[in-house]
Amino acid sequence: MWIARTLGGMTGEHEAGEPTPRVLLAKPRGYCAGVDRAVVAVEKALETYGAPVYVRKEIVHNRHVVKTLAERGAVFVEETDEVPEGATVVFSAHGVSPAVHAQAASRELRTVDATCPLVTKVHQEAKRFARDDYDILLIGHEGHEEVEGTAGEAPEHVQLVDGPGAVDQVTVRDPEKVIWLSQTTLSVDETLETVRALRERFPSLADPPSDDICYATQNRQVAVKQMAPECDLVLVVGSRNSSNSVRLVEVALQAGASAAYLVDHAGEIDASWLEGVTTVGVTSGASVPEILVGEVLHWLADRGWADVEEITTANEKLTFSLPRELKRDMKPQAVR
């Protein structure tokens, strides 16, 4: 059975006596506009240019997506110097630094830039504030591709701040000319904590012109916060290197779920997690195809958790058009 609830419509209906096993399914969940665009960009590049099409880094942080595209002829590489001269390379949704664009140009690669437009927006902010000679404090996770790309726009102006614990080590040239920016896929609450700590040290700290944590990250966290207090267990479908998926586990626990786990697919669920559990929350990160959530719901239904209520906190309608260079080369009827 599948019924829907919207924000404010919590009922928590249980049969009298024995509590009924049930699933709360967060909405929004799964693919965001930037991931959808990046995955379709690789598919269209394969159709337009033919296999192999090289992809620098994982196009999005999901093992299933990467494996499926690899089976269709995408070749995933770490750096552009692994791509044969003259071949086609797609840059991932996480973005790349100007140095990577320059390397690709020097090897005469045909490039398709699938950087999410919301990541590009943060790059533009970094460039603009670097031009104005600000010290830019970039809140994000050390080693994440997005952070490397954004910092690479202005390496002499950007310092990484990896959470509230890193604030003490920050040094700036002029405390009156400091701005913070952030990775798009962070925990909203933890980022605000980092900003508070930074502002204690630098009271004139300027805010970004608009939210850097993207709509999809925020919406998925809001949906999880809504359902988590009712959940004995929350299952987040997503890969371990997916920042926004890992954050959903943290947010679920902070919001009151008794337990929360990240699973790449249904096969990773441990049946012992269900012991003593009545209500299971299910959600998925922004890079996760819905088919993987469907498999988790089937796995739960087979074990008695067949009642599914969808908890809706937002309806997303945003879409992004494909990269310009790809649209130019596609057959007219295939352009979207």
Pick the stretch among 158-166, 209-217, 264-272, 303-311 that binds ligand SF4 (CB under 6 A).
209-217
Q: Which residues contact 296 (CB under 8 A, 6 or more apart)?
A: 235, 237, 263, 265, 266, 269, 282
Pick the stretch among 32-40, 82-90, 103-111, 228-236 that binds ligand SF4 (CB under 6 A).
32-40
Only one residue has tokens 């299910």, namely 282
Q: Which listed residue (58, 125, 145, 146) is catalytic?
A: 146
Q: Which of 92, 111, 150, 185 binds ligand SF4 (CB under 6 A)?
A: 185
Should residue 119 be labelled a site residue for ligand SF4 when binding is judged by CB under 6 A? yes
Residue 28 in contact with residue 334, Cβ under 8 Å?
Answer: no
Q: Which of 25, 45, 116, 282 binds ligand SF4 (CB under 6 A)?
A: 116
User: Is 101 assigned to a binding site?
Assistant: no
Q: Which of 93, 114, 130, 231 binds ligand SF4 (CB under 6 A)?
A: 93
User: Is 231 assigned to a binding site?
Assistant: no
Nearer of residues 93 and 161 to ligand SF4, judged by Cβ: 93
Site for ligand SF4 in 237-276 (CB under 6 A): 244
Nearer of residues 89 and 118 to ligand SF4, judged by Cβ: 118
Q: Which of 184, 239, 245, 284 binds ligand SF4 (CB under 6 A)?
A: 184
User: Is 116 assigned to a binding site?
Assistant: yes
Q: Which of 286, 296, 297, 311 binds ligand SF4 (CB under 6 A)?
A: 286
18 flagged as catalytic = no
- Both tokens of 253, joined, read 């626990």
Should residue 34 be labelled a site residue for ligand SF4 when binding is judged by CB under 6 A? yes
Shortest separation between residue 17's beta carbon and ligand SF4, angstroms: 43
Nearer of residues 126 and 269 to ligand SF4, judged by Cβ: 126
Q: Say how many C-beta atoms besides its own lie within 10 A of residue 293's C-beta.
A: 21
HEC sequence for the chain: CEEEEECCCCCCCCCCCCCCCEEEEEECCCCCHHHHHHHHHHHHHHHHHCCCEEEECCCCCCHHHHHHHHHCCEEEECCHHHCCCCCEEEECCCCCCHHHHHHHHHCCCEEEECCCHHHHHHHHHHHHHHHCCCEEEEECCCCCHHHHHHHCCCCCCEEEECCHHHHHHCCCCCCCCEEEEECCCCCHHHHHHHHHHHHHHCCCCECCCCCCCCHHHHHHHHHHHHHHHHCCEEEEECCCCCHHHHHHHHHHHHCCCCCEEEECCHHHCCHHHHCCCCEEEEEECCCCCHHHHHHHHHHHHHCCCCEEEEEECCCCCCCCCCCHHHHHHCCHHHCC
Tell me, by CB under 6 A, how many residues bind ligand SF4: 15
Residue closest to ligand SF4 when measured from CB atoms: 34
Q: Which of 80, 88, 191, 217 binds ligand SF4 (CB under 6 A)?
A: 217
Shortest separation between residue 171's beta carbon and ligand SF4, angstroms: 29
Should residue 32 be labelled a site residue for ligand SF4 when binding is judged by CB under 6 A? yes
Shortest separation between residue 145's beta carbon and ligand SF4, angstroms: 11
What φ, ψ does residue 64 adopt, rounded to 5°? -65, -45
Separation in Å, CA 123 to CA 23, 119, 292, 313? 40, 6, 32, 29
Distance CA 18, CA 103 (A): 64
Pick the stretch among 76-84, 166-174, 214-222, 298-306 that binds ligand SF4 (CB under 6 A).
214-222
Q: Which of 178, 214, 255, 266 binds ligand SF4 (CB under 6 A)?
A: 214
User: Is 94 assigned to a binding site?
Assistant: yes
Q: Which positions are catalytic?
A: 146
Query: Known binding site: residues?
Result: 32, 61, 94, 116, 144, 184, 214, 242-244, 287
Binding residue ranges for isopentenyl diphosphate = 61, 94, 144, 242-244, 287
Chain residues in the site for ligand SF4 (CB under 6 A):
32-35, 93, 116, 118-119, 184-185, 214, 216-217, 244, 286
